[in-house]
Chains A and B, each alone.
Chain A
Amino acid sequence: MVKNKLQLLLIIAAAMTMLTACSESDTATDSSAQVQQDDALDIDTLMKHAEEARAEAAELGFEWSVTGPLLEEAHAAHKAGNHEQAIALFQEVKHQSMLAIEQAHYANKHWQLLIPVSK
């Protein structure tokens, strides 16, 4: 009886792990596809996407302090005609901002996890 329950629990745990792995794999594929898509974009569109993502992170109150200076660097590189560097920097701004947005959504759902359990 106990053995059966244990087996069931193990099966559930394995199924959940697989589901999570599949879901993460999907996310990774999506993210990779997005980066490839960004590579194909013109710099003005990439800049727009980076700025929009940063604005969304800021609106959520989760913008990272390192993102703003990076955006300034990206604009400076763009202005100086350093196309490759500007693309790399705008992509980094977008990437950081997407992570900050994800962090905000995670925090909104799970912020109570750090509340100490004293009992």
Chain B
Amino acid sequence: MKALTCLSAVLFGTLFMSAPSYADPQSDTDDIRAFFQKRFPNITLADYADGVYAINENARTQWEEIEEFPPYEDAVDEGQAFFETPFANGKTYADCFPNGGIGIKQDYPKFDTETGQVITIESAINHCRTSNGEAALPYGQGELAYVSAYMASTSRDNLINVVIPDDERALAAYEAGKKLFYERRGQLNLACATCHVSSAGAQLRAEITSPALGHTTHFPAFRFAWDDIGTLQKRYAGCNTQVRAKPFALQSEEYRNLEYFHTYMANGLPLNGPGSRK
């Protein structure tokens, strides 16, 4: 009888310990911030907007020198020109967005209760084009990334304010993004979280892995590896490819949901895009 009781206790304890945690988004955010606070006790929340340069002094010094002559400036100027050039029907991007598209990036991604989908600023740019009779632009880099970079530049210092409305579909989208973030995939069997949570700050060959918190503040970003401005989802695809997983299509539901989760955890951080990264 004693043995049976003991066995039950052990089994119950094991089940209890391995039970999945279905936390709400705010608790998730609190937890991940507490984790990073413990990992990097000298870094303030706002510092995470600087990505890996917040946690590595040597890399930061180099980055600050690069930022004296920002490599993304031409792209922002081009983006502004594209942004202000009227479509064939005479309208412009400004007609598609609140506040004429100026200083609004902090609200993206947002959940559209009409379509039940997450809208990123890049998908909204293309939606603006197609609803005005223009062809959609390729995602990732080029004209669309430049327009997005210009819009990001007008939103600098605004605090990220991603909202999850009281809608089951919005929570499901957030949860799907969260799951994708924590799932191991690819031949190397790594999750986003493996490098950017569990191993954040570790040396990976010649690089330091950046914390996930704050990743979304500075995109689109000029990456020297790309020699161009590129979007956050281009980086997602790159990360997936690096772990030898077949990437999802840019602006696929999977990546939009991931961006929703990833940006939500950065709520309250100042936008500082476009940024420059190695």
Tell me, yes or no, whether A binds B. yes
From B2, B21, B194, contact of A115 by CB (8 A): B21
Please measure, in the bound complex, the distance between the C-alpha atom of A8 and the C-alpha atom of B38, giving whole angstroms.
37
From A5, A12, A63, A117, contact of B245 by CB (8 A): A63
Residue of B nearest to A116 (CB): B35
Please measure, in the bound complex, the distance between the C-alpha atom of A31 and the C-alpha atom of B268, giving whole angstroms.
51
B6 close to A (CB within 8 Å): yes
Q: Which of A5, A12, A66, A111 has the most CB of B within 10 A?
A: A111
Q: Contact check, B244 vs A112: say whether CB atoms are below 8 A apart.
A: no
Question: Which residues from A are CB-within-8-Å of B186?
Answer: 64-65
Instruction: With A65-B186, A103-B185, A111-B183 as known contacts, state yes or no: A116 contacts B31, CB within 8 Å.
Output: yes
A9 close to B (CB within 8 Å): yes
- Chain A nearest CB from B84 CB (Å) reads 39
Interface string of A26-54 (1 = CB under 8 A from B): 00000000000000000000000000000
Q: How many interface residues does chain A have, given as a range?
A: 20 to 34
Q: Contact check, A118 vs B35: say whether CB atoms are below 8 A apart.
A: yes
Question: Which residues from A are CB-within-8-Å of B10?
Answer: 8-9, 12
Q: Contact check, A64 vs B246: say whether CB atoms are below 8 A apart.
A: yes
- Chain A nearest CB from B53 CB (Å) reads 22
Q: Contact check, B187 vs A8: say whether CB atoms are below 8 A apart.
A: no
Please measure, in the bound complex, the distance between the C-alpha atom of A114 and the C-alpha atom of B254, giving whole angstroms.
19
- Chain A nearest CB from B96 CB (Å) reads 31
- Chain A nearest CB from B241 CB (Å) reads 5
A91 close to B (CB within 8 Å): no
From A61, A64, A65, A114, contact of B193 by CB (8 A): A114
B247 close to A (CB within 8 Å): yes
Q: What are 23 A-to-B residue pairs whose CB atoms are below 8 Å?
A: A5-B6, A9-B10, A58-B246, A61-B254, A62-B185, A63-B245, A63-B246, A64-B187, A64-B246, A67-B246, A103-B185, A107-B184, A111-B179, A112-B20, A112-B21, A114-B198, A115-B193, A116-B31, A116-B35, A116-B197, A116-B198, A118-B38, A119-B34
Interface of A with B (CB < 8 Å)?
A: 4-5, 8-9, 12, 58, 61-68, 96, 103, 106-107, 111-119
